[in-house]
C-alpha cells in the first residue's frame, strides 16, 4: 500500500506528516546539511552541502597548504590514487567491484570516452546506437559527436525509441527496437530526467545482450537514491554525476563503471592519468591502459572538485542506500497522494509512474503554467525546478527532506494556484 494512503484516503493534515517524521530513522541526517530556502526540493539537480563534504574539502585544501607536491603521495587519501580510491567507496552504490569504478571527468566527457571506446570495440559490427527520445540532451550530443568522428552519419546510426505518451518509455519498445535495427550499443538512462520514470536496467541489459549488443547506462538520476546491481545484471558500462543525490557540489567530479571483462580496451579519449599506475611516471612514449576502470581517467584528477565527494559518500553509506530508497519511496508516494487529494482540481497531475518500482527519486507534476508556478514556488522558498514544456520537478531527497516539508510544499502550491499568485511572476528562462 502506498505509505501516503490509508484505505484510499490521503493523509492531508500536517499531524500525519509530523508523525511520519517522528518515526523516520533518517530524520537526524537533516542537521548535517545546510539546506537553502524554506524547503529544498531540487536535489535532483544540485544537492546541498553537508558538514562532512565541507570537512573533506577543507582537508584537501589543508593538505595542499601543508604538503604541496607531497600531497600526491602523502595525503591521507593520496591524490595520485584519488580517483581509484573514491571509486572504491562508490562501488557498492552501483553494485560493482572496486576496480570497476573510478571517479573522473564530467558525465558528458565520460559518455564521450565510453561510447567512443565501445564503438571502436565493435569492429565489424554495425555502429547502431539505441537511445530514447526523452533523454537528457547532452547524451545525444556526445553520442552524435562520437559517431561523426568515426565517419558515421548520426542520422543513420542513432536510433530513438519513441515515447508513447511523451513522458515515459516502455521497455517493450526498447526490445522491439532491438529487433528492428542493427544495434551495437544500447545507451539508456536509469531514470528519465523529466518524468522521473525508473527504467528496468536488468531487462534492458538482458535484451541488449540477447541481440548481441552492449548495454550502457546514464545513472545520473539514481546514484545515491536507488540501489544498483551493475555487475550482477551484466551492465557493460555506466556513467553518472556526483552533484545530485551524492551531494558532492556543483560541477563535482563524475563517476564511471566499466565491467571487468572490458578492462584492457583502449579508451577513446586516452590520457596519462589512465595509464597503468605502476609505470605512469616512467613517462613512456606509448600508452598502456590501467587494467581497471581507472584506464578511462584522462588528465590529472581534479582533487578540489573530487574532495567533497569523500565526505558526502560517508553520509550516504552511514544512512545506507536501502534505507534511503525506502524513505524516498515513502516521500514520493506521500507527495503523489497530496497532489491527488489537494491539487488535482487546480490543474495539476502526476506524470511520474505510480508504481514505486518504476519511480526514481523525484516526482513530475504537470500544470499548463508550470514555468511561472515553479518560479512562484521558489519565491516562497519552496525550491523546485521547471522542465519544458509543463513539468514542475519536485525532489524530496531522503537525507534532508521530511514529510512536513512535503506537506508544506503541497500547501504552498495549493495557495499559489488557488490565488493565481503565479500570474504576477516574471520568468527569464535561463538556468534552473
Ligand X SMILES: Cc1ncc(COP(=O)(O)O)c(C=O)c1O
The residues assigned a catalytic role are: 136, 218, 243-244, 393
* 363-366: strand order across its sheet: 349-350, 363-366, 391-394, 385-387
- Cβ 420 to ligand KYN, closest distance in Å? 27
- Residue number, 136 or 287, with CB nearest to ligand KYN: 136
Residue found by looking up cell 514544456 in the block: 389
Contact call for residues 186 and 217 (beta carbons, < 8 A): no
Q: How many CA atoms lie within 13 A of 50 on its CB side?
A: 28
**Nearest residue relative to ligand X (C-beta):** 108
State yes or no: residue 189 binds ligand X (CB under 6 A): yes
- Cβ 198 to ligand X, closest distance in Å? 13
- Residue number, 1 or 431, with CB nearest to ligand KYN: 431
Q: What's the burial of 30, exposed, middle or buried (CB within 10 Å: 0-12/13-18/19+)?
A: middle
Which of 4, 39, 45, 143 forms a contact with ligand KYN (CB under 6 A)? 45
User: Which three three-digit cell numbers place residue 60?
Assistant: 584537501
Binding mask 191-220 for ligand X (x = CB under 6 A): --x------------------------x-x
Q: What's the burial of 33, exposed, middle or buried (CB within 10 Å: 0-12/13-18/19+)?
A: buried
Site for ligand X in 352-381 (CB under 6 A): none
State yes or no: residue 106 binds ligand X (CB under 6 A): yes
108 binds, among ligand X, ligand KYN, none (CB under 5 to 8 A by kind): ligand X
- Cβ 16 to ligand X, closest distance in Å? 33
State yes or no: residue 193 binds ligand KYN (CB under 6 A): yes
No. of H helices and E strands in the chain?
Answer: 15, 17
Binding mask 116-155 for ligand KYN (x = CB under 6 A): --------------------x-------------------
**Using CA atoms, how far apart are residues 52 and 357, in angstroms rounded to an integer?**
31
Which of 50, 56, 107, 132 forms a contact with ligand X (CB under 6 A)? 107
Contact call for residues 239 and 115 (beta carbons, < 8 A): no
Binding mask 231-270 for ligand X (x = CB under 6 A): ----------x------------x----------------
The H or E element containing residue 138 is: helix 137-149
Total residues in contact with ligand KYN, by rule CB under 6 A: 4
Total residues in contact with ligand X, by rule CB under 6 A: 13
Residue 187 — φ and ψ, nearest 5°? -130, 115
- Cβ 290 to ligand KYN, closest distance in Å? 28
**Using CA atoms, how far apart are residues 247 and 225, in angstroms rounded to an integer?**
11
The residues near 262 (Cβ < 8 Å, ≥ 6 apart) are 118, 121, 236, 237
> Residue 219 has what DSSP assignment?
-
Contact footprint for ligand X (CB under 6 A): 106-108, 136, 138-139, 189, 193, 218, 220-221, 241, 254
Residues that bind ligand KYN (CB under 6 A): 45, 136, 193, 431
Amino acid at each position: 500500500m502506498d505509505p501516503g494512503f490509508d484505505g484510499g484516503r490521503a493523509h492531508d493534515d500536517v499531524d500525519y506528516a509530523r508523525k511520519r517524521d517522528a518515526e523516520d530513522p533518517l530524520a537526524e541526517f537533516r542537521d548535517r546539511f545546510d539546506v537553502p530556502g524554506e524547503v529544498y526540493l531540487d536535489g535532483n539537480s544540485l544537492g546541498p552541502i553537508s558538514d562532512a563534504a565541507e570537512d573533506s574539502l577543507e582537508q584537501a585544501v589543508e593538505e595542499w597548504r601543508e604538503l604541496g607536491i607531497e600531497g600526491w603521495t602523502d595525503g591521507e587519501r593520496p591524490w595520485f590514487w584519488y580517483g581509484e580510491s573514491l571509486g572504491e567507496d562508490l562501488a557498492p552504490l552501483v553494485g560493482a567491484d572496486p576496480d570497476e569504478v573510478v571517479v573522473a571527468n564530467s558525465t558528458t566527457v565520460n559518455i564521450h570516452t565510453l561510447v567512443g571506446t565501445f564503438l571502436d570495440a565493435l569492429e565489424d559490427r554495425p555502429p547502431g546506437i539505441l537511445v530514447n527520445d526523452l533523454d537528457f540532451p547532452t547524451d545525444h550530443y556526445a553520442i552524435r559527436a562520437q559517431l561523426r568522428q568515426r565517419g558515421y552519419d548520426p542520422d543513420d546510426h542513432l536510433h530513438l525509441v519513441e515515447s508513447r505518451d511523451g513522458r515515459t518509455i516502455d521497455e517493450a519498445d526498447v526490445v522491439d527496437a532491438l529487433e528492428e535495427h542493427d544495434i551495437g550499443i544500447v545507451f539508456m538512462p536509469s531514470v528519465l530526467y523529466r518524468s522521473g520514470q525508473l527504467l528496468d536496467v536488468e531487462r534492458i541489459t538482458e535484451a541488449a545482450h540477447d541481440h548481441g549488443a552492449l548495454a550502457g547506462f546514464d545513472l545520473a538520476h539514481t546514484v545515491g537514491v536507488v540501489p544498483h546491481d551493475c555487475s550482477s545484471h551484466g551492465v557493460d558500462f555506466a556513467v553518472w554525476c556526483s552533484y545530485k543525490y551524492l551531494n558532492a557540489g556543483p560541477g563535482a567530479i563524475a563517476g564511471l563503471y566499466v565491467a571487468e571483462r572490458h578492462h584492457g580496451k583502449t579508451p577513446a579519449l586516452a590520457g596519462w592519468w589512465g595509464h597503468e599506475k605502476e609505470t605512469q611516471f616512467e613517462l613512456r612514449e606509448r600508452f598502456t591502459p590501467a587494467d581497471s576502470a581507472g584506464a578511462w581517467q584522462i588528465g590529472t584528477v581534479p582533487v578540489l572538485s573530487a574532495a567533497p565527494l569523500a565526505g558526502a559518500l560517508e553520509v550516504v553509506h552511514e544512512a545506507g542506500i536501502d534505507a534511503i530508497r525506502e524513505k524516498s519511496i515513502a516521500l514520493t508516494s506521500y507527495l503523489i497522494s497530496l497532489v491527488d487529494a489537494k491539487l488535482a482540481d487546480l490543474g495539476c497531475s502526476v506524470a511520474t509512474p505510480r508504481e514505486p518500482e518504476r519511480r526514481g527519486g523525484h516526482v513530475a507534476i504537470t500544470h499548463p503554467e508550470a514555468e511561472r508556478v515553479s518560479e512562484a514556488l521558489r519565491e516562497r522558498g519552496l525550491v523546485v525546478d521547471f522542465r519544458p514544456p509543463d513539468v514542475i520537478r519536485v525532489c524530496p531527497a531522503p537525507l534532508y527532506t521530511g514529510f512536513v516539508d512535503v506537506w508544506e510544499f503541497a500547501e504552498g502550491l495549493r495557495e499559489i494556484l488557488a490565488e493565481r499568485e503565479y500570474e504576477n511572476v516574471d520568468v527569464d528562462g535561463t538556468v534552473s
